[in-house]
Amino acid sequence: MTAQVSSPTTQPMDATQNEVLAEVRNHIGHLTLNRPAGLNAITLDMVRSLQQQLDAWAQDPQVHAVVLRGAGEKAFCAGGDIRSLYDSFKSGDTLHEDFFVEEYALDLAIHHYRKPVLALMDGFVLGGGMGLVQGADLRVVTERSRLAMPEVAIGYFPDVGGSHFLPRTPGELGIYLGVTGVQIRAADALYCGLADWYLDSANLSTLDEQLDHLQWHDTPLKDLQGVLAKLAVQQLPVAPLAALRPAIDHFFALPDVPSMVEQLREVTVADSHEWATATADLLESRSPLAMGVTLEMLRRGRHLSLEQCFALELHLDRQWFERGDLIEGVRALLIDKDKNPRWNPPTLQALDAEHVASFFTGFDQSGS
């Protein structure tokens, strides 16, 4: 469905479905994830709406660029709607299978989109939200931004292209982010190469205003960069991960997660002890299986193409609902809400390397 060109108000893409809003202003297609009460978590219907609109704008000569954002001030997108995936699996439906296939196709389409995409990463950008923005040409963070691939906390692994973009961050930072699931803020996002520009959230409305009055002169990407250069910066002075980098590069290059925890527990240096202990505690709260598979996936992903990484993630997905810890993680977090997941295996010490390796058996590296 095509949007209203130069419409003064945002139009829902469908009269009965307004979870994705689309409009064109000044040759820019604006897409808004519109589930603010649910932190803009994406559903299969939203994935399909986004894909449909992006496909239409790709063919529309009147649309020069796309801006992607989330409604409200709390989140760009807090990930996929995992409750719907849980319900689908439990009821014997196929929605949980269709979701990943179509979500990954959408993420890949953004990576290869023929027109520049500007992503406004205001608020939480978690999991599936990261998948939507990491293929964008211009990724903007604010002081409210909280980025993470927190899947190991619910017994899953960092997907949506995480096997490609995480291991391509400097040193072992991506391994650290994927295996721990920790959140980072704007300065660290820029330092890791997971964002390009920092803009105060108070200036988001000014950015919109300038985009609405942008005079198109050069290539669309350069024109957009020119607008950002007047309002935003590409570096912030203090990135906490920069100070932690030597420790992260050491511990997260170790052969496996149990070795990481063991050595973190042995740190006695005063200025590192608190971080090391907190990190070890965090790792011991996560799904051992999810962390083991995540570590192997990210290390493989370093040597795979983008398409191969998505194919690897789908290969894991097809096994994970039956063999992984996701269903138990969702039960503990969202269903029974006891926040006491019974992981299988329950401890890192019980994690078997051959069991982890079995998830990768039969993966066709050609991506077919």
Choosing from 23, 122, 137, 159, which is the catalytic residue?
Answer: 159
Inter-residue contact 53 to 22 (CB < 8 Å): yes
CA distance 124 to 186: 11
Neighbours of 188 (CB within 10 A): 24
Tell me which residue has tokens 């590192």: 272
Is 209 noted as a catalytic residue in this protein? no
Inter-residue contact 316 to 298 (CB < 8 Å): no
Neighbours of 219 (CB within 10 A): 11
CA distance 158 to 179: 9
Is 128 noted as a catalytic residue in this protein? yes
Is 73 noted as a catalytic residue in this protein? no
Is 193 noted as a catalytic residue in this protein? no
Choosing from 70, 79, 127, 128, which is the catalytic residue?
Answer: 128
Question: Max CA-CA distance within the chain?
Answer: 62
Choosing from 122, 151, 172, 325, which is the catalytic residue?
Answer: 151
**Residue 132 contacts by C-beta under 8 Å, 6 or more apart in sequence?**
42, 50, 68, 77, 106, 107, 110, 119, 160
Choosing from 29, 70, 80, 178, which is the catalytic residue?
Answer: 80
CA dihedral 100, 101, 106, 109 (to 10 degrees): 140
Please list the active-site residues: 80, 128, 151, 159
